[in-house]
């Protein structure tokens, strides 16, 4: 009887210690709560793995890279949660967007199983994303974005935050479907056409492109010269916004899209 009483007393003590946790040692006063606070997650980064499913899973769980989510290429598509959203995953690497750099601690990463590109005699060919995969991806993005209040303009491809190093998710990734789902801004086609006509007459110079690309968010040299680094940024921009042609050469259509994206209000939801 005595032993039993002691036992229950001990259990109670242990339970209390567990419940109070470190707060007991530190004596934290939680009576004042800040209103100015938000999620640590500011960006959502989309990747392709360039590996098949089993290899993707192995690399992202056992090697020196990781991602929060892995979207499979099976049908129906499996979505794996590999890293809890409260943690940093190692997916962004050296990266920049709008004055933010090294985006790992401030982003959630989604890897999509897709083989990326192959170089053949007829040039580079990219593997398309099957619709069933995208149908699984969009609700996932919607859920993440809603919970962390990620801004539409902060849903990005890996190539956009690391244009000198990365090609993913590539020109076949259907960004338009994300726009149609109300997730990202999309330039108004009529506005683009109107501006393009003007730019056909006179193309803005490289300094203009560099300034606008930086304003949009890309880390871009401001040299006035079409160097390799600037070309890579233009390629990243075109691969997302004008995937029919992404050679990194400045042209009237790219200028028009860039102008619309950097000057008009975000036209989210209105298609």
Residues annotated as catalytic are 111
Piece of the chain touching another protein by CB under 8 A; list 87-95, 192-200, 226-234, 235-243 = 87-95
Distance between CA atoms of residues 236 and 185, nearest Å: 17
Nearer to another protein, 135 or 200 (CB): 135
Which residues, 158 to 217, sit near another protein by CB under 8 A? none
Characterise 149 by phi-psi region: left (phi > 0), alpha (psi -120 to 50), beta (else): left
Q: Does 134 bind another protein (CB under 8 A)?
A: no
Residues in contact with another protein, shown as a per-residue x/- string from 142 to 161 under the rule CB under 8 A? -x------------------
Stretch 103-122 residues interacting with another protein (CB under 8 A): 104-106
Burial degree of 232 (CB within 10 A; 0-12, 13-18, 19+): buried
Q: How many Cβ atoms from other residues are within 10 Å of residue 270's Cβ?
A: 8
**91 touches another protein by CB under 8 A:** yes
89 binds another protein (CB under 8 A): yes
Q: Which of 2, 5, 27, 270 binds another protein (CB under 8 A)?
A: 27
Confirm or reject binding of residue 63 to another protein (CB under 8 A): yes
Contact between residue 233 and residue 163 where contact means Cβ atoms under 8 Å apart: yes
Point out which span in 62-70, 205-213, 227-235, 249-257 binds another protein (CB under 8 A). 62-70
**For residues 89 and 192, which CB has a smaller minimum distance to another protein in the complex?**
89
Q: Which stretch binds another protein (CB under 8 A): 40-48, 170-178, 209-217, 227-235?
A: 40-48
Q: Is 66 in the site for another protein (CB under 8 A)?
A: yes
* Chain position carrying tokens 């968010």: 217
* Cα–Cα distance, 72 to 49 (Å, whole number): 10
35 in contact with another protein (CB under 8 A): yes
Find all residues with CB under 8 Å of 80, minimum gap 6, and list them.
57, 69, 70, 72
Rg (CA), the chain: 24
CB burial of 174-200 (b: ≥16 within 10 Å; e: otherwise) equals bbebbbeeebbbbbeeebbeebbeebe
CB 160 within 8 A of CB 97: yes
Q: Is 270 in the site for another protein (CB under 8 A)?
A: no
79 contacts another protein (rule: CB under 8 A): yes
Applying the rule CB under 8 A, the residues between 229 and 268 that interact with another protein are none
Exposure string of 128-151, with b = 16+ CB inside 10 Å and e = fewer, is ebeeebbebbeebbeebbeebebe
Q: Answer yes or no whether residue 44 interacts with another protein by CB under 8 A.
A: no
Site residues (vs another protein, CB under 8 A): 22, 25-42, 57, 60-67, 69, 78-84, 86-94, 96, 99-102, 104-106, 139-140, 143
């Amino acid at each position: 009887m005595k032993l039993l009483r002691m036992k229950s007393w001990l259990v109670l003590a242990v339970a209390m210690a567990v419940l109070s946790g470190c707060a007991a040692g530190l004596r934290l006063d939680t009576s004042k709560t800040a209103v100015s606070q938000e999620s640590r997650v500011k960006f959502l980064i989309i990747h392709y793995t360039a590996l098949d499913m089993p290899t993707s899973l192995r690399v992202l769980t056992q090697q020196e890279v990781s991602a929060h989510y892995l979207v499979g290429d099976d049908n129906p598509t499996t979505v794996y949660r590999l890293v809890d959203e409260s943690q940093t995953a190692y997916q962004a690497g050296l990266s920049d967007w709008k004055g933010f750099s090294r985006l790992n601690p401030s982003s959630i990463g989604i890897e999509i199983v897709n083989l990326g590109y192959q170089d053949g005699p007829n040039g580079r060919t990219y593997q398309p994303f099957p619709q069933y995969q995208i149908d699984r991806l969009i609700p996932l993005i919607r859920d993440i974005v809603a919970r962390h209040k990620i801004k539409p303009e902060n849903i990005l491809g890996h190539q956009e935050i690391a244009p000198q190093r990365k090609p993913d998710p590539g020109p076949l990734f259907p960004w338009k479907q994300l726009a149609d789902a109300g997730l990202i801004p999309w330039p108004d086609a009529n506005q683009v056409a109107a501006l393009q006509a003007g730019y056909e007459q006179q193309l803005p110079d490289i300094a203009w492109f560099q300034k606008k690309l930086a304003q949009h968010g890309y880390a871009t040299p401001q040299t006035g010269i079409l160097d390799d680094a600037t070309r890579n940024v233009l390629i990243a921009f075109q691969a997302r916004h004008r995937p029919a042609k992404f050679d990194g050469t400045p042209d009237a259509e790219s200028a028009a899209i860039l102008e619309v994206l950097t000057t008009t209000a975000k036209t989210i939801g209105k298609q």
